[in-house]
Amino acid sequence: MLGKRIRHTKRYQEIINAFIRNGFSHVLFRIGLTERGAAKDTQSAANVNLQHVGRKLRNTLQELGPTFIKLGQIASSRHDALPEEIITELEKLQDHVQFFSFDKVQQIVEEELGDSINQLFQHVHEEPLATASIGQIHVGKLHNGEDVAIKVQRPDIEDRMETDLEIVQGLGRLLEERTSWARSYRILDIIEEFSDSLRNELSYISEGQNNERIAKQFTNNPTVYIPKIYWEFTSEKVLTMELIKGIKVTKCDELDMQGYDRKQIAKRLVDAMLQQIVDHGFFHGDPHAGNVYVLPGNTVAFLDFGMARRISEELNYHFASIIIHLQDGNTDAIIKTFSSMEIMHEETDIKRLKRDLDDLQLKYEETLANKNSLGKIILEIFTIAYHHKVAIPAEISILSKVILILEGVINRLDPDFSIMKAVEPYAKKLIRRRYHPKKLMGRSIKELMESADILTNLPKDMKEITSVIKKGKVRLDINVSQLESVMHRLDRISNRLSFSIILLSFSILMAGLIIGAAITGQTTMLWDLPIIEIGTVIAVLLFILMIYTIIKSGRM
């Protein structure tokens, strides 16, 4: 415990000193981490533009090493939550880290895999093929002659990263307590989200599982290749995979010299990513040029699945809806989608939000007509949404970042390729799938069961509410300016609840008549009318009407 505190104190001071050296002492002073004198030579925050702040922040993170470099790289995906000028600088962060000695590599491999490196591998190159913040890669050969890439985690990186993340989270809490801008940008939430992502990257077993899960998506697709994982030579800190011998996707001159079809490669790459996202909801979270190679036959190969991401079908559908409405120029529908996602803040000014979205629509009207771009426009929509206190889910923000990265790669392969045009059929596919009768029936049954559960607990809940009111513990706070809207919504809710109760009662009555008729063996004719048949038709019509009403409201 004492050793941990000493390490924390020493590293804490290193972090503070790095921020002071790069001109952030005024921020540290405002949150009570430095004395006033430390800020005397720095410019006022009001006199420094955001691009300059971003540049200084990038330099600071680069100086502080692997943890902060990775946090900065992950932060660059949050266009919805950070200013664009700072995002631009964070995107320049590179893993400029020194390689560690082969002696350390050998030690880690032998400790993790439980045997000598010579027994495990026929040969391992001492010079690393590549280095990164978390680990480095060495080319090797198995005893059966297969070439492999061996990723080895940096020594003690997990302990150092955990120390850094604990300090950063503490700083985030201080920032939110003492500065309004940190609360506005939800700094602590962002830090915690990034910390979870970084911790996941430390597990090479998890990365291998991500690799195999995406490989299964393309079992019957020979145009996409995912390297094989050798599990007998893999652990939490060592990952052994098939060595991919291809051409980096952005080396266009080399692709041309070898006779590859760049247009076909572009289409296959986009289709592969959209298949991951739309059909499976699990996708490569960082498809930059270094993680995509081209193999013979214009085959696309993906590498490095440490940042694989999940997205639910619900969020997928909403994202597709935003794209469709964007192409149609329907900003009202985009706002309605935000509302359906329940991410609108109570203080959001709908009229101002619509005005800003309309301005963006006009700005990109020609671009949208030509279907030449998507990622940048989506990110600008999310930036506008954020400024209006619309909380875009992290999964959708990351998905937008993936599309932006993909556009950068595709533009080099085939400048005429339109990702927006390629996305359109996939978006429509998602929407058709959502409204398939089987899906509708499943959601309807689920909602009916939830409604029945609510009705069952209603007497108990009303009793508890009455008890609380009698004790005088209820505080009523109504915004009169929104009272009409609130009452309208309550009226709709009560009407639907009443309708559901009537339908349920009618269904029970019909069931009783059918059972009674079956038991007694008597007919159910009344005034020469077939009561059960008529009742069944009415019940079905009422059920269809209820389903139609729910779908039309956008609350499925």
Question: What span, in angstroms and rounded, lies between the C-alpha atoms of 159 and 202?
Answer: 11
Residue 157, CA distances (Å) to 169, 198, 308 in order: 18, 12, 21
Written as one letter, the residue type at 299 is T
pLDDT tens string 60-89: 888 888 888 877 877 776 665 677 778 778
Task: Kindly state the tokens that stand for 215.
Answer: 């490989």
pLDDT in tens, 266-296: 999 999 999 999 889 999 988 888 899 999 9
Per-residue pLDDT, averaged over 150-155, amounts to 94
What secondary structure, in 3-state letters, does 53-120 show? Answer: HHHHHHHHHHHHCHHHHHHHHHHCCCCCCCCHHHHHHHCCCCCCCCCCCHHHHHHHHHHHHCCCHHHH
Span 401-414, pLDDT tens digits: 888 888 888 988 99
Q: How far is CA 280 from the centre of its chain?
A: 14
Cβ atoms of 191 and 168 closer than 8 Å: yes
Instruction: With beta carbons less than 8 A apart as the criterion, state whether 75 and 192 touch.
Output: no
Give the pair of three-digit tokens for residue 150: 């061996």
Highest mean pLDDT: which range of 70-79, 337-346, 359-368, 493-502: 337-346
CA 336/CA 332 separation, integer angstroms = 6
Distance CA 291, CA 97 (A): 19
- Strands 299-302 and 224-225 come out as parallel
DSSP 276: I
Residue 132 has pLDDT above 60, yes or no: yes
List phi, psi (to 5°) of 38. -70, -20
Any idea which fold 102-157+201-259+293-302 has? Phosphorylase Kinase; domain 1 (3.30.200)
Return the C-alpha torsion angle 243, 246, 249, 252, nearest 10: 160
Q: By C-alpha distance, which of 326, 269, 321 is closest to 292? A: 269
Q: Return the structure tokens found at 455.
A: 């009705």
Task: Tell me the mean pLDDT in the region 36-55.
Answer: 59
Amino acid at 233: F
* Structure token digits, residue 175: 């920032």
Give which of 92, 83, 37 is closest to 62, Cα–Cα: 92
| Angle (nearest 5°) at CA 39 between 34 and 45 | 110
Closest by CA to 14, choosing from 53, 59, 63, 55, is 63
According to DSSP, residue 525 is labeled E
> Which of 446-450, 464-468, 472-476 has the largest mean confidence?
464-468
End-to-end Cα distance, the chain: 52
Token code pair at residue 245: 């011998």
Q: CA 49 to CA 547: how far, in whole Å?
A: 53
Buried b (16+ CB within 10 A) or exposed e, 322-338: bbbbbbeebbebbbebb
List the chain domain ranges.
Answer: 102-157+201-259+293-302, 438-477, 484-556
DSSP track, 183-209: HHTTHHHHHHHHHHHHHHHT-HHHHHH
Which residues touch 197 (CB under 8 Å, ≥6 apart)?
A: 74, 307
Least confident of 113-117, 368-372, 464-468: 368-372
Instruction: Enumerate the β-bridge partners of residue 45.
Output: none
- What is the identity of the amino acid at 392? I
For 17-41, the pLDDT digits (tens) are 888 888 887 777 766 666 655 544 4
Mean pLDDT, the chain, whole residue set: 78
| CA–CA gap between residue 174 and residue 94 (Å, rounded) | 28
For the chain, the residue count is: 556
Cα 152 from chain centroid (whole Å): 27
pLDDT band at 14 (very low <50, low <70, confident <90, very high): confident
The span from the CA of 170 to the CA of 188, in Å, is 9
CA-to-CA separations, 432 to 50, 220, 320, 321, 437, in angstroms, rounded? 43, 24, 11, 11, 10
208-212, 406-410, 541-545: segment of lowest average pLDDT: 541-545
Record the pTM: 0.70
Distance CA 404, CA 288 (A): 10
What are 138's two structure tokens?
């060495």
Share of the chain above pLDDT 70, in %: 69
pLDDT of residue 115: 94
pLDDT at residue 153 is higher than 90 = yes
Q: How far apart are CA 38 and CA 241, in angstroms?
A: 50
- Report the pLDDT value the prediction gives residue 531, as an integer from 0 to 100: 55
C-alpha distance from residue 285 to each of 201, 250, 273 (Å): 12, 18, 10
Query: H or E stretch including 301?
Result: strand 299-302
